[in-house]
Homo-oligomer: A and B are copies of this chain.
Amino acid sequence: MTAEAAPPISFDDVADAADRLRGVAVATPLLRNPHLDERVGGRLLIKPEVLQRTGSFKFRGAYNRISRLDPAERRRGVIAYSSGNHAQGVAAAAQLCGAPALIVMPDDAPKVKKQGTLAWGAEIVGYDRRGGESREEVAEGLAAERGLSLVRPYDDPLIMAGQGTCGLEIVAQAAALDIAVDCVLVPCGGGGLTAGVATAVEAKCPAAEIYPVEPEGFDDTARSLASGARQAARPDARSICDALLAPEPGQLTFEVNRRLCTGGLVVSDADVAAAMAVAFRDLKLVVEPGGAVALAAALSGKLDLAGRCAAIVLSGGNVDPDMYAGAIAH
């Protein structure tokens, strides 16, 4: 027998994050819809993190991390790199904690995400996603130069634990409905939300399966889970899911996910657009492409849900009007 190192986060870390977030984060509801249940032949429990502060789950982890900075660290401020949802989560959490925030954001990020980040009082430094610059290096350089605290998007135990509060709510809300959750489908970029949710669900519903869901081409977590070691996303890949373009699984997140996830699911851009249209018509929720991948996997039959109950995380809703209009026109 090989002794394994302790996992990067435990259930207690998630419970501790929940205490910290109480009254600050939105306890998003758990919604049901008979039409969707009929369509999959099972039961879906929809967790709309689009209703979270800043329009995505990212506020949870960011606040759990930034609220623990000491007064001197808060005064100097925080920095993050992000395509837009982590940016807004960090900006809003920093504002609540009285810390200035600097965000390194790709030039081609959706307008709504840039505007949101600015509206939460942060400053943005642009970089060219295709220009060969590493956004991590840009951010780390600025952090060292200005004495800022770097708030990583997923590979940080406090971030993972904060995102896990979403999973904690799911298991509590499902229990209140007297429904046993068979599986949880989670949109996956770097894997922080998946790792946090998996940690919470495993502790409370050990029989439930956890499936990270990724867009085609960015199925690095799916392939990493299949091979047992971290694999990179395909270098030439393109996807409408701007929130899920992480180049590879995080080191810490993958340590958690390889133990707790059943396997990865992968969806196409067309599956995603169709799921956005269903969320518009049947759920009345605005979901961005990256936020819709788990619903897309359920609706396009990537997993057989007949007779089963699946919790589906809608992880974000920050999408520009023109892209949205195109998706719901289906």
Residues of A within 8 A of B (CB): 26, 28-29, 31-32, 34-35, 48, 50-51, 53, 55, 112, 119, 277, 280-287, 317, 321-322, 324-325, 328-329
CB distance from A254 to the nearest CB of B (A): 30
CB–CB A280/B286 < 8 A: yes
Q: Which of A29, A50, A284, A285 has the most chain B CB atoms closer than 10 A to its own CB?
A: A284
Query: In the complex, which residues of chain B have a beta carbon less than 8 angstroms from the beta carbon of A50?
Result: 284
Complex Cα spacing A26 to B329, Å = 28
Q: Which of A119, A287, A321 has the most chain B CB atoms closer than 10 A to its own CB?
A: A321
Known: A26-B31, A280-B321, A325-B328. 17 other contacts (CB 8 A): A28-B29, A34-B53, A35-B119, A48-B284, A50-B284, A51-B283, A51-B285, A55-B284, A280-B286, A285-B285, A285-B286, A286-B286, A321-B325, A321-B328, A321-B329, A324-B325, A325-B329
> What is the count of identical protomers in the complex?
2
Query: In the complex, which residues of chain B have a beta carbon less than 8 angstroms from the beta carbon of A285?
Result: 51, 284-286
CB–CB A51/B26 < 8 A: no
CB–CB B51/A284 < 8 A: yes
Query: In the complex, which residues of chain B have a beta carbon less than 8 angstroms from the beta carbon of A51?
Result: 29, 31, 283-285
Instruction: For A282, give the chain B residue with the smallest CB separation.
Output: B55
Complex Cα spacing A112 to B324, Å = 17
The 6 closest A-B pairs by CB, nearest first: A325-B325, A284-B317, A50-B284, A284-B286, A321-B328, A29-B29
